[in-house]
Amino acid sequence: MLLLLAAGALVGAIAASSITALLANPKPLRTGGTGLTGEYVAVVALAAHEQDHVLIDVYADFTCPACQRLESEGLEKVRLRYGDRVAIRNHYIAGPATAPSAKILYDVAVAQGKGESVAQALFHARLKHGDDGTNLPLVTAIAHRFGLSQPFRIALADGSGRRKIASEWNALGGKVAFFPFIVIEDEIAVGGDQDNLMRVLDSVLAKEE
């Protein structure tokens, strides 16, 4: 809950005109000036970090092409480059225009203790945004592979999966300005460009050394 409130405050700090620009152009525009390198939005005064790593929260959609690239390539490069100097937390959400089957399966998998394994399989499937006609056979096959066919069918049929998605979006829809939405230290928001992400991380780490 604290994380979501922090993300909400972060995006709330962006002017309405900036939000419009971000939605039109997923490449973030620099709006703050704290001596960081790279492009970012909603920068607040950097606080001293009490941990021994930089915290990165990634908000992603399984059907977002940029999220798929970030998960398959970008985050692994970040882990290899920074090691235990960074800690990455993933948050998977789905917007109103998103084909819902992947998120429904992920939520079922979380309940069965298989969330991260299923998440990786869903990203690697390269699902299509807004096209469950194409996605559903792929998602169903992943459910079968992980022994989740029955609870997945139930969540699809009884509407509970869609209701959970709608509830989460009602809570987060006004806070996540673009996908993937990457929040560093609850203060800096960047997009999925891995080179820019690492430029910003280099600057954050340099300020903390």
Note the pLDDT tens digit of each residue in 164-203: 999 999 888 777 888 999 989 888 889 898 899 999 999 8
Q: What is the mean pLDDT of residues 50-78?
A: 89
Which range marks the domain in which residue 69 is found? Answer: 1-93+178-209
Verify that 183 and 171 share a domain, yes or no. no
Task: Give the rounded percent of residues in the chain with a pLDDT score beyond 70.
Answer: 78
Cα–Cα distance, 18 to 29 (Å, whole number): 8
Tokens of 115: 């969330």
* Residues 79 and 115 placed together within one structural domain of the fold: no
Same domain (yes/no): 9, 58 = yes
Whether 146 and 188 map to the same domain: the answer is: no
Same domain as 4, residue 81: yes
Asked whether the predicted pLDDT for residue 162 surpasses 70, the reply is: yes
Do residues 75 and 100 both lie within one domain?
A: no
Q: Average of pLDDT values for 24-41?
A: 57
Q: Give the chain's domain count.
A: 2
Are residue 184 and residue 87 in the same domain, yes or no?
yes
Residue identified by tokens 């928001």 is 189
pLDDT at 50: 57
Pairwise pLDDT comparison (157 vs 12), residue with the higher score: 157
Structure-token pair, residue 65: 């092409």
Q: Does one domain contain both 128 and 192?
A: no
- For residue 154, the model assigns a pLDDT of 97
73: domain CATH number is: 3.40.30.10
**106 and 139 part of one domain:** yes
Residue type for position 71: E
pLDDT of residue 186: 81
27-36, 39-48, 95-104, 143-152: least confidently modelled range:
27-36
Residues 134 and 52 in one domain: no
Are 89 and 189 members of one domain? Answer: yes
Query: Within its chain, how far is the Cα of 173 from the centroid?
Result: 13
Q: Quick one: pLDDT band at residue 49, thresholds 50, 70, 90?
A: low
Instruction: Check whether residue 50 and residue 103 sit in a common domain.
Output: no
